[in-house]
Amino acid sequence: MTSNRPSRPIYLDYQATTPCDPRVVDRMMPYFSEIFGNPHSADHRHGWDAEAAVDAARGQVAALIGAKPREIVFTSGATESNNLAIKGAARHRRATEGRTRVVTVASEHKCVLESAARLEREGFDVTYLPVRPDGLIDLAALEAALDDKVAVLSVMAVNNEIGVIQPLEEIGRLARAAGAWFHSDCAQAFGKIPLDVDALSIDLMSISGHKIYGPKGIGALYIRARNPKVALEPLMDGGGQERGLRSGTLPTPLCVGLGAAAEIAANEMTAEGERLRAMRDDLWDRLRRDLPQVTLNGDADRRIPGNLNLTVPGLESAELLAALDGLSVSAGSACSSGAQAASHVLQALGHDPAKVAAGLRIGLGRFTTRADIDAAHEMLIAAVSGR
Ligand SMILES: Cc1ncc(COP(=O)(O)O)c(C=O)c1O
């Protein structure tokens, strides 16, 4: 009997992280040892060359979201960007305008929820909006939660566990009407779906390098310069780099890598989205046919092309993962500590504990092949039926 099972493990966890694209690595290489100057050294050629590379990367990131290069600040990743955006905006607006409220959503990434929790301990009034069973927020509930005391509204574009895409345009419009600055964690959306900061009324956007085939340890924060002009209280004190918002020497090779990854995504996003959607839908159709008890978590249509989040009733994901040696998929989110806590996202959908414990996230990406999908299908069927 022939088997599709390969000798190397198959990676289907692209929402946790992505491999660095070899084209990105090639672009980064000269900036480790040849063009190694400090991009903040203003007195000599070594510094200027590094600065030019950082500025080019800033332009590549900005171009993908319709922003201006000077509206992009480099950070270490989306965790830092989310912290800087939410804490920085809330603290600034409380001090300057007396706005003391923060509104966010129960299914946000932990770094958003924990930033909000810290602000709560500092005396801010934080509202955590629920989500509907399909994972999307209720716009009427959002509208009711917004008033002229809200400093910042934080709603992610794409959920990292269930892949659903929030209605950003409507959310941005409601935030604008209330004068709340709209922050969106776009770690899972940037480079995957079209984003335009003006069309979506986004004032602050968090970006991560390692979710888009760039290096780990780099990210960016978009900060709107006009209409409204967004100002933040920085998290770090130091040399005043990045217009005083993020002190510390920029890692030139990582900035170049993020810029290259953004440029590649800009060129390939549409075709790649179609390719992933076809493979993802095919896998879902086959799994549904062979395992009729399996259900999908989160809206089926308003979803990024590379994501599936499934529940096999009665089968805990930990048990399923143990049987899936050779297939890297995950239970819930791997973005936290690695400790297996119950998924707060599946809980937010209103699922009972058994269904929460049975969630399985499958993430397809740039290097996923049809053969990988065939093998994954076979392995999933075997794992579920062979228990
Ligand atoms: C939605 C979302 N926000 C934030 C993060 C954190 O990003 P980073 O690893 O760049 O800090 C992740 C992933 O880890 C994510 O999926």
- Angular region, 179: left φ>0, alpha ψ -120 to 50, beta rest: left
**Number of Cβ within a 10 Å radius of residue 350:** 12
Pocket test for ligand 1, best of 80, 164, 208, 344 (most atoms within 8 A of CB): 208
Which ligand 1 atom lies nearest to the CA of residue 334? 14
Locate tokens 């629920």: which residue?
130
Which ligand 1 atom lies nearest to the CA of residue 111? 4
Q: Which residue has the higher pLDDT, 256 or 6?
A: 256
3-state secondary structure of 74: strand
Pocket test for ligand 1, best of 74, 75, 79 (most atoms within 8 A of CB): 79
Q: Which runs of consecutive H residues, i.e. helices, occur in the chain?
A: 22-28, 30-33, 45-65, 78-97, 110-121, 139-145, 168-178, 252-290, 317-323, 344-348, 353-356, 370-385
Count of CA atoms in the C-beta half-sphere (13 A) of 177: 11
* Residue 61 reports pLDDT greater than 50: yes
pLDDT in tens, 196-231: 999 999 999 999 999 999 999 999 999 999 999 999
Locate tokens 């143990």: which residue?
322
According to the model, what pLDDT value does residue 5 have?
57
**Residue from 124, 117, 83 nearest 102 by CA:** 124
Nearest CA to ligand 1 atom 14: 335
Say how many Å lie between the CA of residue 241 and the centre of ligand 1. 23
pLDDT in tens, 63-94: 999 999 999 999 999 999 999 999 999 999 99
Nearest CA to ligand 1 atom 16: 160
72-75 and 307-311 beta bridge pairing: unpaired
Nearest CA to ligand 1 atom 11: 79
Which ligand 1 atom lies nearest to the CA of residue 15? 16
Say how many Å lie between the CA of residue 79 and the centre of ligand 1. 6
* Residue 338 reports pLDDT greater than 60: no
Give CA angle at 319 (317, 323), nearest 5°. Answer: 110
Say how many Å lie between the CA of residue 293 and the centre of ligand 1. 31
Say how many Å lie between the CA of residue 195 and the centre of ligand 1. 17
- Map out the domains of the chain with their CATH numbers: 10-20+269-385 (3.90.1150.10), 22-263 (3.40.640.10)
pLDDT in tens, 274-283: 999 999 999 9
According to the model, what pLDDT value does residue 1 have?
40
Name all residues whose Cβ lies below 6 A of ligand 1: 77-79, 109, 111, 156, 160, 185, 187-188, 208, 219, 335
The length of the chain in residues reads: 387
Which ligand 1 atom lies nearest to the CA of residue 108? 1
Say how many Å lie between the CA of residue 42 and the centre of ligand 1. 33
Pocket test for ligand 1, best of 17, 211, 218 (most atoms within 8 A of CB): 211
Pocket test for ligand 1, best of 164, 335, 343 (most atoms within 8 A of CB): 335
Say how many Å lie between the CA of residue 115 and the centre of ligand 1. 13
Rounded CA-CA distance 132/144 in Å is 16
Calculate the alpha carbon distances from 280 to 4, 145, 260, 368 in Å. Answer: 18, 36, 26, 10
Joined together, the tokens standing for residue 2 give 């022939």
Which ligand 1 atom lies nearest to the CA of residue 158? 1
**Residue from 16, 19, 117 nearest 337 by CA:** 16
Q: Is 15 buried (19+), middle (13-18) or exposed (0-12) by CB count in 10 A? A: buried
Joined together, the tokens standing for residue 373 give 């999908």
* Per-residue confidence band for 194, with pLDDT thresholds at 50, 70 and 90: very high
**Number of Cβ within a 10 Å radius of residue 169:** 12
Alpha-carbon dihedral of residues 270, 52, 80, 242, nearest 10 degrees?
-130
* Per-residue confidence band for 335, with pLDDT thresholds at 50, 70 and 90: very low
204-208 and 219-223 beta bridge pairing: antiparallel
Q: Which residues carry out catalysis?
A: 335
**Residue from 316, 317, 326, 315 nearest 361 by CA:** 317
Say how many Å lie between the CA of residue 260 and the centre of ligand 1. 19
* Per-residue confidence band for 272, with pLDDT thresholds at 50, 70 and 90: very high
Which ligand 1 atom lies nearest to the CA of residue 81? 11
